């Protein structure tokens, strides 16, 4: 499966401009042979948690969902897009959805680890574990941004059988160790492909870091963007994941019977 990652600067609360950018990226990705397009965290509304929470409406969310499904269907490409989600209890979450090439939703996930005071003011953290679904010949799962920086999140996805982990993100400048070091380490230690799509440019005064990456299950980088706008492509397949797991069997050689006891120990 060939995947494409959109790295671009969103226009905060200009839904039409952002959806047009997704549409153009989906068209280009499909023309280049990609089967799936991954877009950044909250890209459809722009990354500005306080403004998004104050200005976005339920009708806006419905419009984004309808347009995203239309983009996937029109270009015949699977699409991961990220928007807020209003739960039945009225709480707002940062969410991501995987749509298939007909525009149907096949997987959804709410961000568990919120980053910084602004996200915590605007949104509530999710609590559901990541799930994995069969899609494009692989088992696919979702995390969002800060989630991937916690080994427990990636391992939870791997424990569900995930071979490909799709991560919309909104990483600010100054944290280049995340795409360069941490994401490949997460891919290696949990033996999954990690695709990590970031914003670039400046949104509501926050300079974004770019450097979207695709890390293979052996920790090598399959693709690495610079700091500017780009549609990044990489080919992934389950045979390569299986080979990485066979070469160094981290998952098979784990000792969970011990780890539970270790967690409760107090060390000085």
Q: Is 11 a catalytic residue?
A: no
Q: What CA–CA distances, in Å, run from 248 to 49, 150, 219, 226, 230?
A: 41, 21, 12, 30, 33
Q: Which of 111, 119, 163, 211 is catalytic?
A: 111
Per DSSP bridges, beta strands 138-142 and 164-168 are parallel
Distance CA 193, CA 243 (A): 12
**Residue 233 appears among annotated catalytic residues:** no
96, 105, 178, 232 from 174: Cα distances, Å? 25, 34, 10, 21
Q: Which of 9, 41, 149, 211 is catalytic?
A: 41
Tell me the C-alpha distance between 160 and 179, whole Å: 24
C-alpha span between 171 and 145 (Å, rounded):
7
55 is catalytic: no
Q: In whole angstroms, how large is the CA radius of gyration of the chain? A: 18
Query: Which is catalytic among the residues 9, 45, 145, 200?
Result: 145
| The two three-digit tokens of residue 15, written as one number | 């839904």
Instruction: List active site positions.
Output: 41, 111, 145
């Amino acid at each position: 499966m060939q995947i494409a990652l959109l790295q671009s600067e969103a226009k905060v609360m200009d839904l039409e401009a952002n959806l047009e950018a997704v549409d153009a990226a989906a068209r280009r990705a499909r023309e280049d042979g990609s089967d799936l397009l991954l877009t950044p965290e909250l890209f459809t509304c722009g990354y500005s948690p306080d403004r998004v929470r104050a200005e976005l409406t339920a009708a806006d969310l419905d419009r984004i969902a309808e347009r995203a499904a239309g983009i996937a269907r029109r270009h015949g490409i699977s699409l991961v897009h990220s928007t807020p989600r209003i739960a039945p209890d009225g709480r707002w979450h940062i969410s991501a959805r995987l749509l298939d090439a007909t525009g149907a939703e096949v997987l959804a996930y709410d961000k568990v680890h919120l980053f910084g005071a602004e996200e915590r003011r605007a949104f509530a953290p999710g609590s559901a574990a990541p799930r994995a679904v069969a899609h494009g010949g692989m088992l696919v799962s979702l995390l969002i941004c800060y989630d991937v920086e916690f080994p427990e999140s990636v391992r939870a996805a791997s424990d569900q059988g995930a071979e490909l982990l799709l991560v919309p993100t909104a990483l600010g400048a100054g944290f280049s160790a995340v795409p360069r070091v941490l994401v490949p380490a997460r891919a290696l230690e949990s033996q999954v492909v990690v695709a990590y799509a970031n914003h670039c440019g400046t949104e509501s005064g926050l300079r974004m870091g770019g450097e979207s990456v695709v890390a293979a299950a052996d920790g090598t980088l399959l693709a690495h963007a610079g700091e500017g706008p780009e549609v990044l492509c990489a080919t992934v397949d389950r045979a390569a994941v299986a080979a990485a797991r066979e070469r160094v069997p981290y998952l098979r050689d784990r000792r969970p019977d011990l780890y539970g006891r270790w967690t409760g120990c107090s060390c000085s």
